[in-house]
Every structure is written in C-alpha cells, then in structure tokens.
Amino acid sequence: REWTAVAGCESAHLAFNRARPRHVYGGCYQGIISEYDAESGFERNVMVWPALGLGEPSDLQKYRFNWNAPIVVSSHDPNVIYHAGNILFRSRDRGKNWEAISGDLTRNDKATQGPGGGPITNEGAGGEVYNTIFYLAESPKDATVLWAGTDDGLLHLTRDGGKTWTNLTGAAGWGPGLVNAIEASPHDPAVAYVAYRKDRLGENAVLAYKTGDFGRTWSLITSGLRAGEPVRVVRESPDARGVLFAGTESGTYVSFDDGARWTPFSQNLPQVPVTDLIARHGDLVASTEGRSFWILDDVAAIATSRGVRPVGDAVLLPARNALLGRWASPAADGFGRNPPNGATMTYYLKAAPDSTTVVSLDFKDAQGRLLRSYSTKPTASLPAAGQPASSQSALPAKAGTNRFTWDLREETPTRSAGLLGPGQQRGRRVPAGRYTATLTWKGSASSSSTVQFDVRRDPRAELMADAEVARVNALLGSLTAALDDLNSTVNELRDARNQVGKAAERSKEAPNKTAIDSAAKSIVGSVDALEGDLVQPRSKTFQDVINFRNGLSEQIINLQEALEDSDAPATGGMQGRREELDAQWRDKRARADRILDVDIGAFNKLLKDQPQVQVQRKKKTIT
C-alpha cells in the first residue's frame, strides 16, 4: 500500500548468511573484498589476489573485477563464498583460500581494456574496468546451478558446481549489452529471469527475459512496461510462483502471470530508477538510484492473492504471521516507519457496505474463544476522563482491497466513566500461538471468510522458559479479570447510588420518609467511600495523579503494565503484589456485595408501599 524509505547506501556488494549474519563480506573496486565479524568487530582482507590495482591498466592485471563485483554467500552452505571477476572464484573457508571454478566468462576484448579513460586523465580507480562478470545467481533449489552474466553481454550456466559451463548467449539472442540482473527462481532450478540493458550502447530498449528450461529457450516478458525505460531487475515472489516484480528507470511493476502482463506498482515511491528488489519476510525491499532503500510491507498478501476470487461479497486474503514485538513508528520525514504492531489483515470487499449491511472481523484463539471483534458499526464504549465520547475504531470497508491491524490484545475490560489515571486500561496482550480471523458480511446476503495465522514470540525473548511465559500470561489473565470485575462493580454501585437518590426524592409523601432519607444517606455515603477506594474519580488532569491517592483499579493497571512492558519472567515482587491486590479486592468486593445486596435490600423494604421506585440491581455477569 505504501513504500517507506529507510536508509542510504553507495555502490559495492554485501553478502552474509541470512540465518546467522555474523560474518559480512563487503566488496569495493579492483577486487577488494573483506570480512567483517559483527560479534568481535574485527575485519580482515580476503582478496583473491591482493594486488594494488589503482592506476593499473586492466589488460595488464591478473584478474579483472567490476566496480560492483558480485559476492554471494551460498544459501546452501554458509561456508561457501563466491567472488566474481572475469573468472568466478569460490572459497570454502571464509576467504582464506580461493579456487577458480571457471575460465574467462567474458568476451575478453582487448580493444575495450587498458587505461580507464584519457587522453588527459586515467580513471584508474576501477570504474572503467570492462569485460567482467557483472551478476552471479545461485539457484535456491540446487547448489550446483549457477548463472553468471557479464557487462559485455554474455550469459553462462553451470549445472555441476562450476566443472562445466554452457554459453547461453546465442540461445537468448539479445546481442551486445549488459546482463544487469539474474533471478534464479525460488521455485524451480530450470527457471530464471534476466534484466538486460543496452542503454550504455545508446539503445533504451525494454528487455526482460524468462527461461523455463535452463536457458535452452527464452521469451521476452515486457508487455505493459513503459517504453524507453530499461529494466534493471526482475524478481519472483518466494510466496507465489509466477508472481513477478520488476524495477525500471522510473519505478516498480508487478505481474501475476509470470511476466505475460505487467502493471505499475510504484504507489508512493518517487519516480526514480529502481536498481534492485528483494522479497524478504513477506515484504518487498527496493534500492534506488537515489541511494535509498524503500520497503513495501506485507507484499506477500498481494502475491498469495493471485488466483483468489471473492466468494460472496467479501474475502479475507492469506495473512502473514505476527510478532509479539514492541517498536516505535516515527512518522517524521527522512525516517523509516516500522510496520504497525500487531497482525495485519488484508481483505477484499466487492462493494462498500450500505446502511443495511454490517461487515465484521473477529479474532479467536486456538480453542475458538472470541478475543476481539471489530465492525463497520462498532458499539459505543465509555470514554476516559477528558476525552469525547467515541466508538471502537470502525473497520475500514471501501470497495476493493482493505487492510486492518489487530493490536494482538483481547477486548478492553469494562470501563468506568470519568476516570483519568497514570496507566492505560487495555485488554491483555495475547500469548504466542495459532489464531483465526473471520471476516463476515451480513446484509441481504451473508458470507464469511476465515484464515489462520501464527503469533510468534519476539526472537530476542526466546531465552524465557515456556513455564515462565505461561506464568506471566496467567497473572495477566487474572489481573484483567479482576479489573473487569472491579469496574463492573463500580458501575453497579454508581447506578444503585443514582437510583437511591431518585427513590428518596420520589418518597416525599411517604409516612416513613425520615427512615428512607436516613437509609439513602447511609447508602450514598458507603458507596462514595468504597468508590474512592476502588477508583479515583477526582483526578481530572494528569497532574492530579500526584495529588489524589490512586484507587485499586490504578494499582492493578500498574502491575499489568509492569508485567507486559518487558519479555521477562515475573519477579517475586510482582507475585507478592498480585496476592496483595487480590486480597484487597476480595475485601472490597465483599463490601460492595453488602451494599448492593444487604443495604439495598433493606432500603427496598422501606419502599414496600412504592414498588415502582424500588432499586433494581443491574448486575453484569463476569466471565
């Protein structure tokens, strides 16, 4: 839906093991490559041939390396590193030793080699070194399949780990140019995509190719791409075969039919050359000529929606797994914004609902217990002190694609109006596990759609034992239940106090008016005293929290936040404080029951001749 800029960068390749990115390999001009150890902070030179190339004519160098010489850490074996010059090199020991696994894979045209520039100044830094391997791709499906493309237009393939190579250039038939990027399909080792450029030869052709038979035949896949804008990169979604993304001179495109037709997909991305794309963790990351990275969140929902057709009036698309993390999302210009905290749902509505239709989105746990429900017509909730009356956030429901993020919390416990405390009353954060989301359309016709997704623990908190996680969740559950019960009781007491006052006013002619007034005054006084213990109704501004004593509800909320604010085991103090609060609530709950049952019962007996004004208890069932 929206791209976010996150960083800046210059040239050269970086490579690392994605599973454990401790050792990072970075390149520079003239074949410079070094290893950085992220744990120790050490860096070491691992050049294939550590000769000083600055100022040297390229035709006199032992090996020719591009300014952006490819570096690849094998996805099959993190100890295997590839570094490409005009020859492809492989190391099996983190760069200590290198072996050539190919001959010269370029045209090796001596007329295009020598000093890098002239006639006045020699550009000897390496930016003009030609006849080099420009791109290397290892098949994610087969470690022995490698594709190598050069800056002078050749494409080679090995299917035996470099023992033999096949020149595919003739089969492709694209003529002189630059193999700018190769995408080895994440689904099939025989499939590859090539972004080819001729603009450096004065021809702004739109060239992107696909093979499905290891390069024996090729097809042009450019329909829908803007004319006159070379293609920089083509990537295939790892989440859905045949869903492609392309980066060009002016932005990004998407294809849902393996390149047969492209659709613009830049959204808010500036009109800028997109130099590379990668689909990772369900997101799409783009690097641009403007030296910034941009991220499009949850693009996997778009990829996996291919072939999904609405059944009825609404359909919930496959959902990505959610993370129990905590991160800020700064919105200031120049800073990247993190994705929302929670589980983001993507859904399609055939049309916007009318006044007779309600669209709802329900979240349940693995046992089928309803945790949270959202609707296009939400129920009103009590506002906090100083806040206008409001409703729960209405569910977005425009025609077409919509998105909504559940904050991974259960329903907010019952609230009492007019309260302002130091904490924030909210539902308990759900534990890790399997959950379901159900989208329902209720109108003249009804339909529903359900997806499952996992909520996972923050990987940084994995050292916390499962038993400790369960203990914290149990404590939070008991605190949430107590807070719900407490606020429900406050609301009952307030309602009873209001009814008692009105009953006393309406009993002016009763013969036992004095007894009624005395009982009413006693009940009102008891309710006022107990309410002041349970909540603090006098706090109207934030500074009041240091002026008036906080009630039991604020103490419960404070302990909730202490338990939730860090992924850590409950301390002994937290355990002890929970027991103390529980004892306090049992005492105050008993006082409330005496008022609501005994005192109100006695008061109603005084009104035996006026049954129409007797106090009716509005009791909420606590679950």
Q: What is the pLDDT of residue 327?
A: 74
Q: What is the pLDDT of residues 88-113, one digit of tens each?
A: 999 999 999 999 999 999 999 999 99
Q: What SS3 state is found at 352?
A: coil
Give the mean pLDDT of the chain: 88
Q: What is the pLDDT of residues 16-59, one digit of tens each?
A: 998 889 999 999 999 999 999 999 999 999 999 999 999 999 99
**Across 214-218, 353-357, 522-526, least confident range:** 353-357
Q: What is the 3-state secondary structure (H, E, C) of 44-113?
A: EECCCCCCCCCCCCHHHCCCCCCCCCCEEECCCCCCCEEEECCCEEEECCCCCCCEECCCCCCCCCHHHC
Q: What SS3 state is found at 376?
A: coil
DSSP-derived pairing of the beta strands 274-280 and 283-288? antiparallel
Q: How far apart are CA 88 and CA 95, in angstroms?
A: 14
Complete edge-to-edge strand list for the sheet that includes strand 14-16? 14-16, 23-27, 33-37, 43-45
At residue 372, φ and ψ (nearest 5 deg) are -155, 140
Torsion of CA 411, 416, 421, 422, to 10 degrees: -10
The helix or strand, by DSSP H or E, that contains position 193, with its residue range, turns out to be strand 192-197
Residue type, 316: L
DSSP-derived pairing of the beta strands 192-197 and 178-184? antiparallel
Position 383 pLDDT exceeds 50: no
Q: What is the pLDDT of residue 511?
A: 87
Q: What SS3 state is found at 210?
A: strand
At residue 437, φ and ψ (nearest 5 deg) are -120, 135
**Across 28-37, 312-321, 490-499, 537-546, least confident range:** 537-546
Q: What is the pLDDT of residue 305?
A: 64
Contacts of 279 (CB under 8 A, 6+ apart): 235, 237, 238, 239, 245, 285, 299, 300, 303
**Across 9-23, 73-87, 277-291, 302-316, least confident range:** 302-316
Torsion sign over Cα 77, 78, 79, 85: positive
Q: What is the 3-state secondary structure (H, E, C) of 297-308?
A: CCCHHHHHCCCC
Contacts of 187 (CB under 8 A, 6+ apart): 141, 236, 238, 241
Compute the half-sphere exposure of residue 591: CA atoms within 13 Å on the CB side of its CA. 20
Residue 233 neighbours by CB distance under 10 Å: 25
Q: What is the pLDDT of residue 216?
A: 96
Length of the chain: 623
Contact 44, 102 (CB under 8 A): no
Position 169 pLDDT exceeds 80: yes
Alpha-carbon radius of gyration of the chain: 34
Q: How far apart are CA 350 and CA 524, in angstroms?
A: 55
Q: How far apart are CA 161 and CA 48, in angstroms?
A: 19
Taking residues 601-613, report their average pLDDT: 84
Q: How far apart are CA 406 and CA 453, in angstroms?
A: 12
At residue 26, φ and ψ (nearest 5 deg) are -120, 140
Q: What is the pLDDT of residues 426-465, one digit of tens each?
A: 888 899 999 999 999 998 888 899 999 999 988 877 667 8
Contacts of 438 (CB under 8 A, 6+ apart): 316, 361, 362, 364, 448, 449, 450
Q: Retrieve residue 240's tokens.
A: 């859905």
Q: What is the pLDDT of residues 1-10, one digit of tens each?
A: 566 555 444 5
**Across 5-9, 525-529, 607-611, least confident range:** 5-9
Confidence band for 393, pLDDT divided at 50, 70 and 90: low
Position 381 pLDDT exceeds 90: no
Q: Is 90 exposed, middle or buried (0-12, 13-18, 19+ CB in 10 A)?
A: buried
Q: What is the pLDDT of residues 271-305, one digit of tens each?
A: 999 999 999 888 899 999 876 888 888 887 777 66
Confidence band for 598, pLDDT divided at 50, 70 and 90: very high
Q: What is the largest CA-CA distance in the chain?
A: 120
Confidence band for 543, pLDDT divided at 50, 70 and 90: confident
Q: Retrieve residue 310's tokens.
A: 């609405």
Model confidence, pTM: 0.78
